[in-house]
Structure 1
Amino acid sequence: MALPININDLVNGQSIEWERLEFKQGWNPEEIVHTICAFANDINNWGGGYIIVGIAEKDGRPILPPVGLAPESLDRIQGAVLTLAYQLLPNYFPLIQPYVLQGQHILVLWCPAGDNRPYTAPISQGKGALRQAYIRFGSRSIIAKEDNLRRLQELTARIPFDDRINGKAAIDDLDLGLIQAFLQEVKSDLYEESKQIPFADLCLNMKIVNGPKEALRPLNVGVLFFSRNPEKFLERSWIELVVHKDKTGKNFSEKYFKGPIHHQLRAVLDYFKNNVIEEAVEKVAHKAEANRHFNFPYEAIEEALSNAVYHKSYEMDKPVEVQIWPDRIEILSFPGPVPPVDAQILKQNKRIVARDYRNRRIGDLLKELHLTEGRGTGFPTIRNAMKENNSPEPVFETDEQSTYFLSVLQAKEQIIKVDKKDILFTNLEELSRYLKNRNDLATNLATNLANPNEIKENVNFESITNGATNLANDQATVGAEPNKIKKNSDLKDFTVGASVGAGNLAIEIIESSLNDKVLAILNFLPEAKRRVEILEHIGLTNQSFNREKYLDPLVKLGWIELTIPDKPTHKDQKYKRTIQGEILHKLITR
């Protein structure tokens, strides 16, 4: 019976890490029994491994096309494998399947992690040979000694939760359609066989049930992937998504994603694609190609969310929580990482190689579906995706007791629609540059008026106004009469047609970079006002330090100006909004 895996992906290390693969050009019983023992012991809870006989290797990688095995030797080798299996104590039996790869016969031994660790094997094939427990160390099978032996002994009868029997579910709670859809997607040869063999045999061959054949029960991994309603058997095994409309935390909506966990994962990722991720195209002067980037890179979201689904404990009735804020995404799962990974290690900007894994089977199925990467590559993948998008560095966090794991992805920038164009500002400098550009357009228009009602012939009005300027509801008039402007037009009525979202973003940037009094000051200055009037309006005393903190920065930015600029201390001195200030006021109050 075929294995529930794509043989081409397996041989090329695309779904299983190289450390879990061993290639043998020919039959070598002594080395093979040691490797079977090592995979059965599965000291790191990686999920066992595969021995592929008939393919030579170099530096742990296969040499293709395969050398292959003689067809007449296949039956003999399969019988020899069973003989070797009896040499292990306790007895352990791998699954054996012959394949034809690139025209050559090979034999694959699937050695899942055993349930009765530790296993021992004879160190040689001679009679009376000593027995030792073997484990995997990198790509080699070695004898477990000292600390490793103690670790292995501590794993006795300790089966990861995803590989345990679920006492609430029956084999009939597993769905044949879901199983076949999985096998078809991963292009396993077992898909065609699944149409003919008994359902119990199919589940046994996929290692998603266990127990005596007359009373088989699903494993938790089987319930999570192949039950229509896994939350019936594992409480709160879903993903909760909260979308915040603003930063207050009071205006939000909730969504629950249930069903098989790989369906949940894909549904949430689709939600991000369709509702959250936005692309910005920034044209650069003197450069043919535009710069393209996203508010959040999809690859980083995919990896962070997949890691949460992979590494959370399904023994705890706590869902994966995803919070989408205007400026960041937070992905929370419980508990925290498995030792030796801790809060300090998470802060290090380098690859993290875990020694132990919480879910040895969930990871394998997610890798088969290409929903997560190989062991230890999650953090670099997220960091690289954020870096390539010029986004802030991601944050990975846990507490000293490792009770939770939090991934935070900061937005590169908000993408806001203004005048049917994308504008971007993530800080005060970008906002000020945007306002200055608008101011320059307005000034250009004003200085080119031959008189209040005429535009010089050499001025391209469309180029000045396209997507940028309107003069106080004159769009229709200008459209009808390109060289006329209404007499009641005034630059103080200059508008930008900005969206509410752009205004909210501008307020957030101003408040974080300056203070929360800016909008109140701009609101108070449709006409020029004295300093004492402005400060009293915002609840402050007429002191120099208040002027320096609240008024001087706005003058420096060019958003307000002095009515008598050459005499700052003049007794009749007042403040008024500049054209930039008018634009900003329209932007944040629209």
Structure 2
Amino acid sequence: MTTEELFEKLEMLQKIKCETSNLEVKSAAGGCPKRLYDTLSSFSNQDEGGIIIFGVDETQGFKEVGIYDPQDLQKKVNEQCLQMEPAVRPLFTVVEKNEKIFLSAEIPGADITERPVFYKGKGRLKGSFIRVGDSDEPMTEYGIYSYEAYRKKYQDDIRVIERATFASLNQERVAEYINLLKKNKPHLSAIPDEEIYELMSIKRNDKITFSTVMNFSPYPQAYFPQLCIIATVVPGTEMGEVGEVGEQGERFIDNQRIEGNISEMLDGAMQFVHRNMREKTIINPETGKREDKTDYPLTAVREAIVNALVHRDYSFHTEGMPIQIVMYADRMEIKNPGGLYGRIKVGQLGKVQPDTRNPVIASVLETLKITENRYSGIPTIRKAMQQYKLPQPEFLDERGSFVVKLYRDGKSAYSNQNVGLKDDGDLGNSNLILFCKTPRTRREICEFLGLSSVTYAIQTHVMPLVDRGIIKMTIPDKPKSSNQLFYSE
């Protein structure tokens, strides 16, 4: 960081009077803070890293108090950085302002293969943290496992299930799968079936694998009771809210536990969604013919459910967590355990080829022609929603889960909020405005919008709102500053 950039950060702090997801302040007027480990861990465990600024006292309304000794402070901060595993390598910047000295420590984000970064004094389980808003929160055991699973390439979908036997499988379905595998593959066809079972991970050391149970068992829930889909219809727009159709005060209009193998759960979920959607007859303006149109495009719904079934986390950490489908009055949410896998980010979905969490399950379903396994699901969802003239879907990578939100009737997530927008065409920006209640960087906004170009995201979605005074800049006199944050009041 240049000295000019540090001055900009100090100026910004005096304006917004708050910390952010990648900015922490410490007083250090009377000495070095004794425990920086949580922040060092949380900043290191996020892609963009973070910055600690010493010399600003949050307890005094972000008063600029300066630091006691820049040389000694750097030494002591670095000592704490060396107590991290792997060691953190900060980049320091020192400036003088109004006869006070300030120090910044830039903490780089660790590569995903080195995470979680943790304090050695507490160990991996208790010393790993993540940044949530402006606070450092302990990383869950599952969060720690997720990094380890990616780093070591665990294949949870082919772990052995001791209780399962080959005789307990649906033999006709297994035979169908083997025949499809052999089709147009003369070399594979020449291999005995017993060898194919091991080769294609139906068995592993003559034991039945998890993927086999989920695809070929007549009732996988006998082994994993919670690996199902819980589907509900809620009368209002929030869980627990009673809307117009809930006149008797009922919590759910419809509520179903959907079980079976992956294919059967997909079929059951589609039947549930279809019967709980409105269906209206319209005249196609291009053909002049009458057509039935549902609240949501069934193609988009199917792809979202398939993605949840194929890409959810199937590790022992999530065996007690079902997939959830909730149909609200204004939207549908499909939520599966396990966030995005590997390096891919929300803004890259449908644009780059991701790592596959469950490659064997994906391959089996491709062979059975249930899914294409061509990474076309997200583009298909987006295209189907566009053709229906509905808002683009929202994809959220939350702590330990992934959520797809589909909106109906052209209403966005926060269209019922009074955000000072002029007309219905502005409603698509309302969720961005609420997102910016916490000051955001250009990159954070770009990822939130699900776009790949930061420049396009800012010019198209943010600057028009800045021009209207709805979103503000923390450094308005330097709009192109790399330290610029955007916020709404």
Q: Same fold (TM over 0.5)?
A: no
TM bracket, shorter-chain basis: 0.3 to 0.5
- Normalising by structure 2, report the TM-score: 0.45
- Structure (1 or 2) with the larger CA radius of gyration: 1
- Normalising by structure 1, report the TM-score: 0.38
